Amino acid sequence: MDIVTWGQSEDGVNSGDRHNNAIYRLEVSEDGGNNSGLFDANVEYIMLNQLNVNNTGTYNNTVAYGDDLEIIIHNDSTDEDEIRISYLDRGADGVETQISAQLAAPTHSGVVEFDSDSYKEADTVTVTLTDSDLNTDPELVNIFTVVNSSTDPANDAVGASGYGLNSIDDPFGRLLDITIDDERWVDSDELGGASTAAVCSDAVNSAGSDGLYNSGFTLVETGVDTGVFTGDFQVPPEYGARNTGSCAVTSTLGKDLEVNYVDYRDASGEIIEVGDGAGIRANTGSVSLDRTVYPVPFGQISNFSDESSKKTPNGRSLFPIHATGISGSYLDAASETLGNGDLTIHIRVDDPDYDVSATGEDQIAENTTTSSNRGPLKIYVSRGSEAVTLATAGADNTRDGVITATTTVVDGGVSNGTRELGPISETAPDSGVFELDMTVRYTDGPDSADCPSKTDTYTATDGSTGTAASNRFASTASSPISLYLAR
């Protein structure tokens, strides 16, 4: 009878707490046919880690005798601790001599890392863990899942439940965890009935950020014998900080993201924790037009009164066709002009912070003010020190309004009746680029003595069918209530 000792006592930190005293009986069979004199057998080993060291099934799966052994390796089995096989050989001189061979089974230092140094809300984070010691079955793809037990210390961490706490109150079953601002974000399974927890649960669930377990994170080996594991999850917009006790829901923006891996045995055979960090940061957005210089917009015959005299022209904003196309003494027919000359501008906003959906095209649809419900984009025309705001854009809904006079942004937008163009659509599901088109008329600019005279009819922007100046411009846009060609 062989008496063996396996496993660990206490925390397994000190070498004296780690036990692996065992002898195995190996049967060999002749290989290569009769009279070959060659005998072989197989030996496989199970490397202990924090997830299997306290599991009785680990040791029940050992095979102590036969021609296909399953043995236990604990610590870095190198030098005098290497796996050794001994054979008592009767030599040609009739003397029995023990001959031996040995093989090292070293432990390895693990490395864990993110695929980027910086993320934003809704980005996919990929975690890569490299540690050959976790390749516990070389014939299977090893998988490690997140603990989902509200009463277990390792809850919402990758590992195993049921192992309790060690002497410094760290979870024995924790293999890897991911933290935001040094805290594992909340899982509603553990919130209980406290009112603050219930509020936190509602808020976190509505934001889709209910803990690492509910993110679907799993560490999966990249092959049957690689020792490289990957897992991914999406950065939540908000999180509930579990360790504070109050479960306060806060934005992830500006927080640090960390991954921590408990390497049960590094290359020197010691317990060590390694990790990687990244930031959850906002991006600097930019806005641009499709041109640096635009042609001058112009009107049409119906916008103006007829010319009264060639000697006293009223300076209408019209573009006539070639002189041979004008009949009579005056320019008085639409066929004699180039027609409507509205200008369409194309606006492009590049801001990945609004690309928040894993699938589908997003929108900039955010009210930057509570009083006027304006979007973050302001469109204006300026001449010298004067300016008029044509519209705002990027709010959750369109709102009829008028062109207003302003040189500053009021209340985060314009709160005196400026029209709002509404959501701005993304060009592609993952581009982070948002575009819109807007029409600018020849009237839409600050007044000037150099501009043509007053237009008789205006295109309304206030939702009505009126043609008065007040249907397009606020009374404060200029004095008197009219605007002129923006040159």
Q: Is residue 303 part of a domain?
A: no
Same domain, yes or no, for 244 and 214?
yes
Tell me the per-residue pLDDT of 457-474, one tens digit each, with 9 for 90 and over.
Answer: 788 999 999 988 888 888
Position 309 pLDDT exceeds 50: yes
Query: In terms of C-beta density within 10 A (0-12 exposed, 13-18 middle, 19 or more buried), how is residue 452 classed?
Result: buried
Distance CA 329, CA 337 (A): 14
Containing domain of residue 11, as a range? 5-75
Quick one: tokens of 42?
A: 């197989």
Least confident of 151-165, 186-200, 244-258, 307-321: 186-200
**Comparison of pLDDT for 256 and 368, the residue scoring more:** 256
End residue of a domain, out of 75, 95, 128: 75
Q: Is residue 198 part of a domain?
A: yes
Same domain, yes or no, for 466 and 368?
yes
Same domain, yes or no, for 293 and 238?
no
Same domain, yes or no, for 119 and 10?
no
Same domain, yes or no, for 186 and 270?
yes
Question: pLDDT at position 478, please?
Answer: 47
Position 377 pLDDT exceeds 60: yes
Q: Is residue 31 part of a domain?
A: yes
Quick one: tokens of 108?
A: 């390895």
Q: Is residue 28 part of a domain?
A: yes
Question: pLDDT at position 409, please?
Answer: 45
Q: Is residue 192 part of a domain?
A: yes
Q: Is residue 92 part of a domain?
A: no
What confidence category does residue 218 fall into, taking pLDDT thresholds of 50, 70 and 90? very high
Q: Is residue 371 part of a domain?
A: yes
Same domain, yes or no, for 134 and 200?
yes
End residue of a domain, out of 54, 75, 96: 75
Instruction: Give the helix/strand (H/E) hosting 213.
Output: helix 211-214
Least confident of 70-84, 168-182, 387-401: 70-84
**Phi, psi (rounded to 5 degrees) for 376:** -80, -5
Same domain, yes or no, for 55 and 204?
no
Question: pLDDT at position 207, please?
Answer: 47
Q: Is residue 288 part of a domain?
A: yes
Least confident of 148-157, 179-188, 217-226: 179-188
Alpha-carbon torsion 422, 294, 389, 282, what sign? Answer: positive
Tell me the per-residue pLDDT of 149-169, one tens digit each, with 9 for 90 and over.
Answer: 878 889 889 999 888 888 778
Tell me the per-residue pLDDT of 348-363, one tens digit each, with 9 for 90 and over.
Answer: 999 998 988 877 889 9
State pTM to two decimals.
Answer: 0.73
Q: Quick one: what percent of the chain has pLDDT higher than 70?
A: 84
Alpha-carbon torsion 138, 75, 109, 50, what sign? Answer: positive
Contact 394, 423 (CB under 8 A): yes
Same domain, yes or no, for 384 and 472?
yes
Same domain, yes or no, for 267 and 289?
no
Contact 396, 423 (CB under 8 A): yes
Q: Any residues with CB less than 8 A from the CB of 70 and at least 6 apart, and which?
A: 44, 45, 46, 61, 62, 63
Mean pLDDT value of segment 405-410: 56
Mean pLDDT value of segment 408-415: 46
**Comparison of pLDDT for 372 and 37, the residue scoring more:** 37
End residue of a domain, out of 19, 53, 75: 75
Distance CA 425, CA 447 (A): 33
| Mean residue pLDDT across the chain | 82
Same domain, yes or no, for 274 and 155?
yes
Mean pLDDT value of segment 38-50: 88
Mean pLDDT value of segment 435-450: 84
Same domain, yes or no, for 355 and 421?
yes
Residue listed under structure tokens 């997830």:
51
C-alpha pair distances (Å), 107 with each of 46, 443, 485: 12, 78, 78
Mean pLDDT value of segment 169-188: 85
Which of 239, 274, 231 has the alpha carbon at shortest distance from 256?
A: 239
Q: Quick one: what percent of the chain has pLDDT higher than 90?
A: 33
Which SS3 state, helix, strand or coil, does residue 470 take? helix
Same domain, yes or no, for 189 and 123?
yes
Tell me whether the omega of the peptide bond preceding residue 237 falls within 30 degrees of 0, making it cis.
Answer: no
* Domains in the chain, number: 3
